[in-house]
């Protein structure tokens, strides 16, 4: 296949994911303004992100099935249109219920995007290049979070809520036109759609993907590595820095931008380590999880406000969470045939977002409970209690990763014993 064609199709599909990340993260730096616009508390603000993430997570398996049936191009177009509608609705909303509906539309469109791009990568970049391009997709897509940080905050404070989110919708519309014009499912034909599956066939494919221990290893890898950085970037990091650590809005947005830049730099490193040491991928997962828990322990235990260097260290460690969660998709790819990559990737993608939903909601509830009566904003002590919820999720995720890593290794050993010695292993 022509490399220029592959690069063009991937580049435009990547721009769709970049736009999805921008739409997804646009609430993160506007949460404080949303509280004032809709006259809500922390728990109610959490419902915005919970609604968005819940739809995203709930749709992963159905989207995986639809992806195997209709192909990436159609799902990217549908997803882009849904996110455009969501941002238009959010720009004009003054009622909480309408705002929640808007975030649900964003989550629904976002749900179709990432695994659709992964399927394009699987068709256009086969073989040894696939892990690197997959990691680059997840990493470069985080540029969307940069657009959703300092520029969006500046526009919001200069032009107001409605104008800022109308501009966000315009970005989505531009990318949608590019996808319609340039994206193709495979190098060989217009679409990569399959026959209409029967309910029994769908159950068989999902059952086969779920029965593979490597798929569940990918799910729990995504669970344990993603939630801390995702929740910090999507919603609670900005309030924690502004209200808890008393940073200026510009300084807080700059730290979130630094986090995104660090994600861009760390992604290729994680991809290289996975490709170079496939038998050590789970060790890398435990290292990322341990480092994240450690830096949070230092920040939360620090007497008073944390110094600037410590907050910089925090966002740099959290930046590795996103690339670390991509290891879960590498497990889905290596342990499943290409015909059910959509289904397997959908299952994996549920993990981190289920954890993120739980943490977003728990942080909001704890902040309201720990904030003294009569105070309008949470203090640093309230944020310490709220972010302490993370330790339960880390413990659960680490135990499950260890469990399914061992199960995957046992199954792989049994399969190798039953097949020819020349079979290529799918390592964990």
pLDDT score of 346: 79
| 168 contact partners, CB below 8 Å, separation of at least 6 | 22, 23, 26, 87, 91, 152
Type and span of the H or E element at 91: helix 72-92
Task: Give Cα 107 distance to the centre of its chain.
Answer: 11
Separation of alpha carbons 153 and 237, rounded Å: 14
Dihedral angle over CA of 15, 183, 353, 202, nearest 10: 180
Show the tokens assigned to 262.
């660090």
Cβ–Cβ < 8 Å for 119, 67: yes
| Residue 43 structure tokens | 């728990």
d(CA 85, CA 38): 20
- Give the predicted TM-score (pTM) of the model: 0.73
Residue 113 near residue 76, CB atoms below 8 Å = yes
To which H or E segment does residue 8 belong?
A: helix 3-25
CA angle, 200 as apex, 199 and 204 as ends, to 5°? 115
Q: How many CB atoms lie within 10 A of CB 39?
A: 10
pLDDT at 374: 56
Q: Using CA atoms, how far apart are residues 391 and 227, in angstroms rounded to an integer? A: 11
| CA distances from residue 102 to 24, 39, 87 in whole angstroms, order as listed | 11, 17, 7
DSSP 15-47: HHHHHHHHHHHTTTTTHHHHHHHHT--HHHHHH
pLDDT value, residue 329: 86
User: Distance (Å, rounded) from C-alpha 403 to C-alpha 350?
Assistant: 18
pLDDT tens, residue order, the chain (428 aa):
556 788 899 999 999 999 999 898 887 767 778 888 888 887 788 888 788 888 888 887 788 778 878 889 999 999 999 999 999 999 999 888 999 999 999 999 999 998 899 888 888 876 667 767 877 887 788 788 777 667 887 888 888 889 989 999 999 999 999 999 999 888 875 555 555 666 677 778 788 888 889 999 999 999 999 999 999 988 899 899 999 999 998 899 889 889 988 988 888 888 888 878 888 899 999 999 999 999 999 999 999 999 999 999 999 999 999 889 989 988 888 888 877 777 788 789 889 888 998 998 899 889 988 887 656 688 899 999 999 999 999 999 999 999 999 998 888 788 777 775 554 555 55
Q: List the domains of the chain with CATH numbers.
A: 3-186+199-415 (1.20.1250.20)
| 8 A C-beta contact, residue 65 and residue 347 | no
pLDDT of amino acid 156: 85
Instruction: Give the torsion sign (CA, 394, 17, 267, 221).
Output: positive
Q: What letters, b where the CB count within 10 A reaches 16 and e where it falls short, cover 301-310? A: eeeeebeeee
The per-residue pLDDT for 202 is: 72
């Amino acid at each position: 296949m022509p490399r220029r064609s592959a690069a063009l199709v991937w580049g435009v599909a990547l721009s769709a994911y970049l736009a999805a990340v921008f739409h997804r993260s646009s609430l993160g730096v506007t949460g404080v303004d949303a509280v004032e616009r809709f006259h809500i508390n922390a728990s109610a603000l959490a419902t915005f992100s919970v609604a968005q993430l819940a739809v995203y997570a709930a749709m992963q398996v159905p989207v995986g099935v639809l992806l195997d049936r209709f192909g990436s191009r159609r799902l990217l177009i549908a997803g882009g249109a849904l996110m455009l509608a969501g941002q238009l609705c959010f720009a004009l909303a003054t009622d909480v219920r309408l705002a929640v509906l808007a975030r649900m539309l964003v989550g629904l469109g976002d749900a179709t995007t990432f695994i659709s791009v992964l399927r394009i990568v699987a068709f256009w970049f086969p073989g040894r290049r696939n892990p690197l391009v997959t990691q680059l997709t997840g990493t470069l897509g985080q540029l969307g979070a940069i657009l959703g940080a300092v520029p969006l905050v500046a526009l919001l404070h200069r032009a107001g809520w409605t104008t800022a989110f109308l501009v966000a919708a315009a970005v989505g519309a531009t990318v949608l036109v590019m996808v319609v014009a340039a994206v193709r499912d495979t190098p060989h034909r217009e679409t990569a759609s399959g026959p209409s599956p029967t309910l029994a066939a769908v159950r068989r494919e999902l059952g086969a993907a779920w029965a593979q221990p490597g798929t569940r290893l990918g799910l729990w890898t995504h669970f344990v590595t993603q939630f801390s950085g995702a929740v910090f970037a999507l919603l609670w990091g900005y309030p924690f820095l502004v209200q808890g650590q008393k940073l200026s809005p510009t300084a807080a947005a700059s730290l979130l931008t630094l986090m995104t830049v660090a994600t861009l730099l760390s992604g290729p490193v994680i991809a290289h380590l996975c490709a170079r040491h496939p038998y050590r991928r789970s060790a890398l997962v435990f290292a990322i999880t341990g480092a994240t828990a450690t830096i949070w322990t230092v920040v939360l235990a620090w007497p008073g406000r944390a110094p600037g260097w410590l907050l910089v260290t925090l966002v740099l460690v959290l930046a590795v969470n996103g690339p670390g969660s991509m290891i879960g998709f590498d497990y889905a790819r290596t342990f499943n045939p290409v015909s059910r990559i959509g289904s397997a990737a959908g299952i994996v993608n549920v993990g981190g977002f289920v954890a993120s939903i739980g943490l977003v909601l728990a942080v909001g509830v704890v902040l309201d409970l720990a904030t003294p009566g009569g105070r309008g904003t949470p203090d640093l002590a309230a944020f310490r209690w709220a972010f302490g919820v993370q330790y339960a999720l880390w413990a659960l995720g680490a135990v499950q990763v260890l469990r399914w890593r061992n199960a995957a290794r046992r199954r792989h050993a049994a399969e190798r014993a039953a097949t020819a010695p020349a079979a290529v292993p799918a390592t964990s």
